[in-house]
Chains A and B, each alone.
Chain A
């Protein structure tokens, strides 16, 4: 008994007897996760403030007579007149490898029921993006595993590539495929013992999504063995707008830890349309002046300061960002899509029509672009896929012309046949990304005309058969392509022989 009392007395003795100064205020009004507070005369912009019951808020509006705060967490127990105190700190989230394989909320608290996260460090949620001198040009590829993207719209480490399209066109699937592909590459690379290999860790930020969708995503990543390299930051549709507003910044802070510590990371923001809507809701309640589509004037800055944090740093790592934007009826000229298009280094545009025609991933080659271009491609991909985009553009033009039903010369017919086969070849099922060496082999076969005798409708099955042939029987050749990252005469000859071997054994 006396030991217990001693412990308590020691603890009390440890407490400083010096008066502690706090700056306080009182809640004047509270609604929809936003509180207006009288007082808090010393509060700083973006400072964390403490509400009763452990809830945390962020001071966003500093006015002459009141302070507007967004509240993160449970607001149901807060009421008018409650005392609020400043903390003198900026909002921070736990960072580090301890978060890998976990699902966290916008504040970095575990929400997956796997117990607390033992993170050693925290990073501020809002950080100034790296400057020009600290950056390095983007020239290392980040393979998505999607043939249409890796061959025509390559993404580099440190790039910001927008995924844009209507609802239900496969935007999230592309992002998840990319995360799964990183995990596959990580496993192969780490198993190889190559000292130069740099794994890519992924962060998936779900903003305003249904909880059931997030559960499905987690299940897909787990099934593919990718969860161990992934951190999921979830701010569901049921969370208040403040949590949805802060979640992408929390994800960026988690990603920055990898970048600052010499590692590579990929972050997916799914999606920034809902993020803008959450911010609009907060801004309207804070009575900030509204502009186009009722968004506040700083909605561009909302996304630019977030996406500028993706970079490849000199002497350190990189953070690649894949923001997602949902369009309405394919309207890319709406306010938020045009903003994010102008911020990012390119976009992958997904078309509803293509999706409904069964072309999946429904990447619109004409409207998609990567401003980093071929500098983020390995030489082997450039060798086999360098002309693909042009060939497909020609095919679309000729296909439109051929619809008039006029007689076509042999060359035009051949171009149409080739184009139809390329379109079929790029069809890929969800959650099955292809390794880059496999992509190179398939594209080589296509370039050399091995798919020309096959009926266009059967090209998908033939390509699947060829992938199976290469992975099961030509593993050494695939490894050689992966290691050399270029096609020399020797490899080209081996590929030719392998393709002929496949052709002789394949019956459509």
Chain B
């Protein structure tokens, strides 16, 4: 059972590596992988696809800066964030903005696992921890 799961994980990882070109997930390659899985139906296909989905989701999150903001954010600011993150992570990064009133003021930018906190609520939380 454990060996089968390990094999499925390995296959998912191989398929994932095939789907990434120059640190970017390729839409064409993903379509190709899905076609391959549909045609050949490997053992544990559902598990393989779920693992593959998780790996692709993690990779896509690395190429997207999710900007949460309390007030309005100018398109120029979003473009500046995208440019700064692209430079920092050496890969093309796009931005998506989402209003988050609980931040009170400021921004929170999430790229993959990294979170850049520059909001009042984040600072208040840090203050609460320090006292």
Stretch at the interface among A15-23, A136-144, A228-236: A15-23
* A492 contacts the other chain (CB 8 A): no
Cβ-defined partner of A18 (8 Å) among B54, B109, B118:
B118
Beta-carbon contact of A15 and B126 below 8 Å: yes
With known contacts A15-B126, A20-B126, A65-B54, A42–B118 Cβ distance under 8 A: no
Q: How far is the CB of A56 from chain B (nearest CB, A)?
A: 12
Question: Which chain B residues numbered 1 to 17 have a C-beta less than 8 Å away from chain A?
Answer: 13
B residues less than 8 Å from A39 (CB atoms): 58, 112-113
Question: Which chain A residues numbered 1 to 38 have a C-beta less than 8 Å away from chain B?
Answer: 11-12, 15, 17-25, 38
* B28 contacts the other chain (CB 8 A): no
Beta-carbon contact of B118 and A19 below 8 Å: yes
Beta-carbon contact of B115 and A22 below 8 Å: yes
Beta-carbon contact of A11 and B113 below 8 Å: no
A residues less than 8 Å from B26 (CB atoms): none
Beta-carbon contact of B54 and A42 below 8 Å: no
B residues less than 8 Å from A85 (CB atoms): 115
* A40 contacts the other chain (CB 8 A): yes
Beta-carbon contact of A22 and B117 below 8 Å: yes
* B20 contacts the other chain (CB 8 A): no
Cβ-defined partner of B118 (8 Å) among A20, A24, A40, A41:
A20
Rounded to whole angstroms, the CA-CA distance of A39 and B59 in the bound complex is 11
Question: Which chain B residues numbered 95 to 131 have a C-beta less than 8 Å away from chain A?
Answer: 107, 109-110, 112-118, 122-123, 126-127
Beta-carbon contact of A20 and B117 below 8 Å: yes
Q: How far is the CB of A70 from chain B (nearest CB, A)?
A: 20
Q: How far is the CB of B130 from chain A (nearest CB, A)?
A: 9
A residues less than 8 Å from B117 (CB atoms): 19-22
Q: CB-nearest residue of chain A relative to B61? A: A39
Identify whether the interface residues of A are mostly helix, strand, loop, or mixed.
mixed
* B55 contacts the other chain (CB 8 A): yes
Beta-carbon contact of B116 and A24 below 8 Å: no
Rounded to whole angstroms, the CA-CA distance of A417 and B109 in the bound complex is 85
Rounded to whole angstroms, the CA-CA distance of A17 and B126 in the bound complex is 12
B32-74 vs A: 1/0 string, CB under 8 Å? Answer: 0000000000000000000000110010000000000000000
The winner among B13, B110, B115, B118 for most chain A CB atoms within 10 A is: B115
B residues less than 8 Å from A15 (CB atoms): 123, 126-127
Beta-carbon contact of B116 and A19 below 8 Å: yes
B residues less than 8 Å from A24 (CB atoms): 110, 113-115
Q: How large is the interface on A (under 10, 10 to 19, 20 to 34, 35 or more residues)?
A: 20 to 34
Rounded to whole angstroms, the CA-CA distance of A25 and B114 in the bound complex is 9
Q: How far is the CB of A302 from chain B (nearest CB, A)?
A: 25
Beta-carbon contact of A41 and B113 below 8 Å: yes
Beta-carbon contact of B115 and A41 below 8 Å: no
B residues less than 8 Å from A42 (CB atoms): 113-114
A112-131 vs B: 1/0 string, CB under 8 Å? Answer: 00000000000000000000
Rounded to whole angstroms, the CA-CA distance of A20 and B123 in the bound complex is 9
Rounded to whole angstroms, the CA-CA distance of A23 and B113 in the bound complex is 5
A residues less than 8 Å from B115 (CB atoms): 21-24, 85
Q: How far is the CB of B97 from chain A (nearest CB, A)?
A: 16
A residues less than 8 Å from B127 (CB atoms): 11-12, 15
Q: How far is the CB of B9 from chain A (nearest CB, A)?
A: 8
A36-61 vs B: 1/0 string, CB under 8 Å? Answer: 00111110000000000000000000
Rounded to whole angstroms, the CA-CA distance of A40 and B115 in the bound complex is 11
Rounded to whole angstroms, the CA-CA distance of A168 and B60 in the bound complex is 60
Beta-carbon contact of A21 and B116 below 8 Å: yes
Beta-carbon contact of B123 and A40 below 8 Å: no
Rounded to whole angstroms, the CA-CA distance of A65 and B50 in the bound complex is 13
Q: CB-nearest residue of chain B relative to A39? A: B113
A residues less than 8 Å from B58 (CB atoms): 38-39, 65
A residues less than 8 Å from B113 (CB atoms): 23-25, 39-42
Question: Which chain A residues numbered 460 to 484 have a C-beta less than 8 Å away from chain B?
Answer: none
A residues less than 8 Å from B54 (CB atoms): 38, 65
A residues less than 8 Å from B123 (CB atoms): 12, 15
A residues less than 8 Å from B107 (CB atoms): 19
Rounded to whole angstroms, the CA-CA distance of A64 and B13 in the bound complex is 10
Rounded to whole angstroms, the CA-CA distance of A42 and B117 in the bound complex is 17
Q: CB-nearest residue of chain B relative to A85? A: B115
Q: CB-nearest residue of chain A relative to B118? A: A19
Rounded to whole angstroms, the CA-CA distance of A40 and B112 in the bound complex is 10
Q: CB-nearest residue of chain B relative to A287? A: B2
Q: How far is the CB of A408 from chain B (nearest CB, A)?
A: 67
Q: CB-nearest residue of chain B relative to A11? A: B127
The winner among B54, B110, B113, B118 for most chain A CB atoms within 10 A is: B113
Beta-carbon contact of A17 and B118 below 8 Å: yes
Q: How far is the CB of A61 from chain B (nearest CB, A)?
A: 16
Question: Which chain A residues numbered 61 to 100 have a C-beta less than 8 Å away from chain B?
Answer: 64-65, 85
Cβ-defined partner of B114 (8 Å) among A18, A22, A64, A65:
A22
With known contacts A19-B117, A20-B117, A22-B117, A41–B126 Cβ distance under 8 A: no
12 contacts between A and B (CB under 8 A): A15-B123, A15-B127, A17-B118, A20-B116, A20-B117, A20-B118, A21-B115, A23-B114, A38-B54, A38-B58, A40-B113, A64-B13
Interface residues of B (CB under 8 A from A): 13, 54-55, 58, 107, 109-110, 112-118, 122-123, 126-127
Going nearest first, the 10 A-B pairs with the smallest beta carbon separation are: A19-B118, A39-B113, A19-B116, A41-B113, A22-B115, A20-B117, A15-B123, A24-B115, A23-B113, A24-B113
New A-B pairs, 7, CB < 8 Å, besides A15-B126, A42-B114: A17-B118, A20-B116, A20-B122, A20-B126, A23-B113, A23-B114, A24-B110
